[in-house]
Structure 1
Amino acid sequence: NRMGLAAAMRGGVVTSTGQPASAFAVAEGFGVLAGLDALAQTAAPGLWGRLRDRSMGRPRGDLQIGQLAVAGVADDDLQWGMNVEQRTTAAASMLRALGMVERIAPVILVAGHAATVENNAFAAAYDCGACGGSSGHVNARLMAAILNDPRVRRRLSAEHGITVPADTVALPAWHNTTTDEVTIDPQDVPLAHTVRAAALREMLAAAQRGCLKERMPELPGVAGTDPSDAFRRASDWAEPQPEWGLAGNAAFVIGPRSMTKGLNLRGRVFLHSYEPGLDVDGTTLELLLTAPMVVTQWINNQYYFSTVDPQHFGAGDKTTHNVVGDYAVFSGAGGDLRVGLPWQGVFREQPGPGARWMHEPLRLQVVVYAEPEDIVRVLDAHPHVAALVANAWIALAAIDPRTGEAYALERDLQWRGWLDQPMTANAREDEHADR
């Protein structure tokens, strides 16, 4: 197939360049082809990118989940792979955290996100922050493989009370945040689900068009909503602002989807599903407050400081950067290593008096649909998380599922009333239905 051919070609080039004589021959022989390729990418980056993806596809390695067996070494000492018990625990934790414990659909789409950018030293800033600045596609493939494992499904039912129907399939996908395209690899679709997968692709294509209409006018230099410009930006190695990434992030909502369903949050709010009724022992709430909430605060801080002082806490101008090794940049021909994000990631124009920013520097507002006592219990057990509230790095609010009353947690870790009108997830769902 195309991906196999691309992998073979890359492998051949790498192997041939390992010998002194052949390396010189490869450089000389492919120089003309590389020049023509560079000319095409410069003249028509959008068309070049589509032809490249169509002919080569994306690199895709084999996925090895099982633990390695090494003679004379105990399984507990091996850090590679996951046994069935670990896979089951991971699947149960994810499904319960998302509230997916019953009425599971015939198709589960497990999507990771990544960006497509060219000639960009800050490419990792557009990829998944929770994945260490890498693509989330491999994570999606791993979890889909776990959910499709018959042994995992049997243990989910027997040990966790979660029954995944036999005809349900988990499909891995990756969301390209630069073009808003969601790709499902054909080899991951079982024959019995071909029709459903085709319908899903049509819905995802419609969603892509809708997202681009909302997002494209916000990008600099765009005088309309032409989707082709998104593909050009993804393949143009002269484009310093291919997308806005997570600029504008301001809040994080942890609760049932019905709380925010039907609202236009303008891409400024992180969302995580949470059903407190399914979290009897509070372990899911603890996980959400100590992992996703902390990660979103990291992201928020990175954008915050890069905006309030782009020269000292940000990376300055992207167009003057030189890459140092494989890990950092400095401006121009020398100087100190730059931290934070370049101004092209947070400002619409070069910073200065009256410059317009894309990211409004606000500290993260977190809203949790859970009992206030349960939240405090987690903070008491994790002082480093409580410090985020005590030192005002985040503003934390709770909506009590029992009463709908909203409370804000002060810096002294005491609750006070937050909203005048009670709110419940069911009330938001009823309001959406009325619309």
Structure 2
Amino acid sequence: AYMKKNAPYALLKLLQEKGKLTGTYNDAMEDSEDYQKILDDFVKDEINLNSLQVQLAKEKLPSLDMTLTQFSNFANLIKKEEGFIWLKSLEDTYITDHVDELTSAHTYDEKPIASTIFCLDVRSEVIRRKVEESGPYSTYGAGGFLGIPISFVEFDKAHELPMSPANITPQNIVFEIPVESHDEYNTKKGVNKTTKKVLSDLKNNPYTPYIMVESIGWMFGIKLFGKTFFPDKTNKLFNNMKPKKPKTTFTLDKLTIKEIEKYIRRLHTNIINEVLTTQSDTVLTKDELFILWEHLVFNKALCIKISPDMISKLKHAYHITAEDYHLQKERLSQVGFTIDEQVMYLENLLKMIGLVKDFPKFVTIAGHGSISENNPFESSLDCGACGGSISLPNARALCMIGNKNDIREKLREKGIDIPAETKFLPALHVTTTDEITFYDTDRLNVHDLELFSKMQQDFKNASLGSREERAAVLPNAKTQEDLFIKTMDWSEPRPEWGLAGNMGVFAGPRNSCRHMELNNRLFMHSYDASIDNENADILTGIFNGPLIVGQWINLEYYFSTVDNKVYGAGSKIYHNVVSKIGVYNGNYSDLKIGLPTQSVYEEGEAYHEPVRLLTYMEAPLEKVGKAVENSVAKEFILNEWIRPVIIDKAAKKVYSYEYGDFVVIKELP
């Protein structure tokens, strides 16, 4: 009712709020209450201004055969679509430049002694380039989970971690188990656990905190001041106090039925024995424990004396039942892979990247992750294709599979002949410092170690060169040492730029883009269209996994940049972590979504350039068309969030998807 009665005033306030009123009209609203007249004058001036702009523009564009009315409608359309026009023009400029580079002729004939498979993550671009420059090495790109989705249970952890994209549910469980004695680990862990429990009890007791602050509060000051003023030394001190994980391996092979039943029986009888000895002072022999277990699980006759209350407790409180037996049996049947599954996953990876012949001495599969302190957004810097986790477990799993003789025999039957001297080595690429650490090198012989030592030094040199490039664009990182300090400094809001700057994907042979300095802007997935089948199954797999993950990342950075207040998370400086599920701004707000300003802005200016995902594919148009039709990426393409560009060298044409159709944008010689 108020709005209707005071419409001129309400309209003027809305215009004022949106910043549409000039100083003249703002002053008039303060000096006068004739709001209808002020509104009329404003509308009149706006009409006159628009008319003058249209007339002057028409005079500057005499070639346009339009009336003033038609030109006015055209100008309004341009004004309405101005943002999209600028966006598309920017993208078209990049497409033109990239296509020219990608279609220029370059050959690389040197046989590599090692091929390294990196994640397609944009941050791998510079380290791949530096590795190739450091010696006879080739690199490939693939989705960080490497096409092998696993539920991973780390050594000394009780929970499963899904190592796959969010749209894929792993069906196989992999345990990390020790292969050497780990007494020192257990001792250090026991000390740390006891210390943590004592401190927790002291803090949570209603009386002791007052005494605790006075007596041992200074101990917390060591970490507080150390991490603030001497982060490198403090980091070394506390790392030495942590238990060191022993050498481990993975449970990659399926368990037999007998093994599964033996493990469940051992689990249940251990629980029964623990409960009886601690809660009733009852000690049973091994045979008696087995008899009691059979009674609880299979309802067999019980010939030993156990109280009904204890029987009930074991069933209802500790779940020693037939139902739990079958549940555990089903879960353990998911541990590891069958031989055929192992062959399939390795074959899929090698075919997906085009590495099916001429294998070098070493095939390195590098997972990746980041290191930072006090960073609620740390998972956004890890592997997106592994659900925001470090992808080393996937790399180790595939290397262990690749080194098995029986797996190689079966691959040989499928036309992929991996020589006996070829070794698969897992590695971890730390994106904040570009360090590369190799794992499971104990399988190398003396001759292998000589070559590996040279390769390791070359990779260290590549890391040095890569850090130089990163330090040049990262604020407050004048030297390479500063990059390491950023990983330890708990006051550092920007340990690395992450995937800021991402703008596109290239799927094709590495030689087509090896000569280009892409400055960490493209996701690079290796692909050889000549070994793909007529249904484009390999390319469809790339579309369904890596391309979709790349699109999610691209949109996350896009919207966090164009409107960080709504779609981003604001500044990290004001964040408070809420129940480990999100962050608030200050002490109360909505849960923030998207990325913080430090991930996409630098000193108030956008560092990330928001463009849609420009997807370059070196493949025949027909195969790309089939991959689009058969993949979940179709909707993103049809709705123009992904802009496909097809480099069809066989047809000597380059196509771009424009307004619902593929059009030729360049003819190749």
TM range (shorter): 0.7 to 0.9
1:367 aligns with 2:616: yes
Give the Cα separation in 2 of the matches to 1:283 and 1:236: 46
Q: Secondary structure at the match of 2:540?
A: helix
Give yes or no for contact 1:3–1:59 (8 Å, CA) kept in 2: no
Residue identity matched to 1:40: G
**Structure 2 matches for 1:214-225, cutoff 5 A?**
214-222=469-477, 224=478
1:291 aligns with 2:478: no
Residue identity matched to 2:533: V
**Structure 2 matches for 1:185-200, cutoff 5 A?**
185=439, 187-192=441-446, 193-200=448-455
Q: Secondary structure at the match of 2:538?
A: helix
Per the alignment, residue 418 of structure 1 pairs with 665
Give yes or no for contact 1:407–1:416 (8 Å, CA) kept in 2: yes
| Match 1:151 to one of 406, 417, 427 | 406
Cα shift readout 1:93-128 (whole Å, capped 9, x = no counterpart): 001111111111111111011001000010001111
Please report the TM-score for the alignment, with normalisation by the length of structure 2: 0.57
Give the Cα separation in 2 of the matches to 1:23 and 1:63: 36
Per the alignment, residue 104 of structure 1 pairs with 359
- Say if 1:407 and 1:332 are closer, same or farther in 2 by CA, change over 3 A: same
1:400 aligns with 2:643: no
Per the alignment, residue 67 of structure 1 pairs with 254
Residue identity matched to 2:252: I
1:130 aligns with 2:385: yes
Q: Secondary structure at the match of 2:602?
A: coil
1:255 aligns with 2:502: no
1:179 aligns with 2:433: yes
Give the Cα separation in 1 of the matches to 2:244 and 2:600: 29
Per the alignment, residue 333 of structure 2 pairs with 78
Cα drift, residue 299 of structure 1? 0.5
Cα drift, residue 156 of structure 1? 1.0
Give the Cα separation in 2 of the matches to 1:297 and 1:161: 34
Residue identity matched to 1:378: A
Give the Cα separation in 1 of the matches to 2:474 and 2:504: 22
Please report the TM-score for the alignment, with normalisation by the length of structure 1: 0.86
Tell which structure's C-alpha radius of gyration is larger. Answer: 2
1:39 aligns with 2:225: yes
Cα drift, residue 57 of structure 1? 8.7
Cα drift, residue 186 of structure 1? 6.2
Give the Cα separation in 1 of the matches to 2:423 and 2:221: 45
Cα drift, residue 147 of structure 1? 0.8
Instruction: Number of aligned residue pairs: give it.
Output: 412
Structure 2: any 5+ residue segments left out of the alignment? 1-177, 204-208, 262-324
Give the Cα separation in 1 of the matches to 2:629 and 2:331: 32
| Match 2:523 to one of 267, 270, 281 | 270
Q: Secondary structure at the match of 2:379?
A: helix
Per the alignment, residue 315 of structure 1 pairs with 569
Moved more, 395-404 or 183-192: 183-192
Per the alignment, residue 91 of structure 1 pairs with 346
Q: Which has the higher contact order (CA 8 A, sep 6+)?
A: 2
Give yes or no for contact 1:46–1:228 (8 Å, CA) kept in 2: no
- Say if 1:405 and 1:177 are closer, same or farther in 2 by CA, change over 3 A: same
Give yes or no for contact 1:171–1:189 (8 Å, CA) kept in 2: no
1:390 aligns with 2:645: no
Give yes or no for contact 2:185–2:244 (8 Å, CA) kept in 1: no
Cα shift readout 1:324-349 (whole Å, capped 9, x = no counterpart): 11221111112211100000000012
Give the Cα separation in 2 of the matches to 1:37 and 1:211: 32
Per the alignment, residue 376 of structure 1 pairs with 625
- Say if 1:125 and 1:405 are closer, same or farther in 2 by CA, change over 3 A: same
Q: Secondary structure at the match of 1:242?
A: coil
- C-alpha RMSD over aligned residues: 3.0
Give yes or no for contact 1:6–1:59 (8 Å, CA) kept in 2: no
Residue identity matched to 2:338: N
Q: Secondary structure at the match of 1:157?
A: helix
Moved more, 188-197 or 170-179: 188-197
Cα drift, residue 35 of structure 1? 3.8
Structure 1: any 5+ residue segments left out of the alignment? 350-354, 424-435
Residue identity matched to 1:65: L
Moved more, 289-298 or 180-189: 180-189
Cα drift, residue 189 of structure 1? 4.9
Residue identity matched to 2:651: T
Per the alignment, residue 606 of structure 2 pairs with 357
Give the Cα separation in 1 of the matches to 2:585 and 2:227: 26
Per the alignment, residue 189 of structure 2 pairs with 11
